[in-house]
Homo-oligomer: A and B are copies of this chain.
């Protein structure tokens, strides 16, 4: 046989990106796009029916984001391979989705040809990462920060990665417009402790105040 095409499902809230991917993937005979979804809920409803082999999915989607979809996949045990397509190249995020069973991670600034490569690779059960992501993973692994300091964003990546779980938890609540007191109450710890964490975050992320924290958190999708 071997004439079987690889069945693909696309999920992204930007219709143009889907149209673009469709056009790119149609150029290859070995692929067949069997469906696409504009948000996480729609995706979860349709993915059962059309039996896709590979899902290419954005992290940021309305209704349910990519992380939630991956979690659902784990519970239900779908055999479908997942490639994450994301604007954000945060190491923590990459770690997270890999832990959740994703097979590939593509930065949105990767070339179109990488997509085909990625699909074939993960279809075989191997992992695939676009170049910049591979660099980040290696850097994070060896403890050496990737020295591509072309943008200030990159500069922060190391620091972002050093946020502890507890700090992240508090950062999320700060971003939800909670006061230190409220955060303390919710987590069952003292307001003083919350403020300690806040100060540590401000120092290690080199921002001026909580607003700086929230901006970074949003830029790296550490918060919803």
Chain A contacts to B: CB under 8 angstroms: 13-17, 19-24, 27, 38, 62, 85, 87, 106, 108-113, 115, 151, 174-175, 177, 179, 207-212, 214-215, 218
- Asked whether, in the complex, the Cβ of B15 is within 8 Å of the Cβ of A19, the reply is no
Specify which of B14, B85, B207 is in contact with A108 (CB 8 Å cutoff): B14
Q: Across the interface, name the chain B residue whose C-beta is closest to A150.
A: B62
Please determine whether A109 and B15 come into contact, CB atoms closer than 8 angstroms.
yes
Please indicate the chain B residues that have their CB under 8 angstroms from the CB of A218 in the complex. Answer: 215, 218
Add 6 more A-B contacts to A19-B113, A23-B24 (CB < 8 A): A16-B111, A20-B20, A23-B112, A174-B211, A175-B215, A211-B214
CB neighbours of A215 from chain B (8 A): 175, 214, 218
Given A23-B24, A23-B27: A112 touches B211 (CB 8 Å cut-off): no
Whether A17 contacts B15 by the Cβ 8 Å rule is no
Measured CB to CB, the nearest residue on chain B to A85 is B16
Give A22's nearest chain B residue, CB to CB: B112
- Chain B hits for A115, CB < 8 A: 16
Are A109 and B211 neighbours in the complex by a CB distance under 8 Å?
no
Chain B neighbourhood of A175, CB < 8 A: 211, 215
Whole-angstrom distance between the alpha carbons of A87 and B60 in the complex?
A: 12
List B contacts of A14 (CB < 8 A).
17, 87, 108-109
Pick from B62, B208, B210: contact of A211, CB under 8 Å: B210
The distance in angstroms between the C-alpha atoms of A207 and B16, with both chains bound, is: 32
| Residue on B nearest A26 in the bound complex, by CB | B23
Question: Are B214 and A17 touching (Cβ within 8 A)?
Answer: no
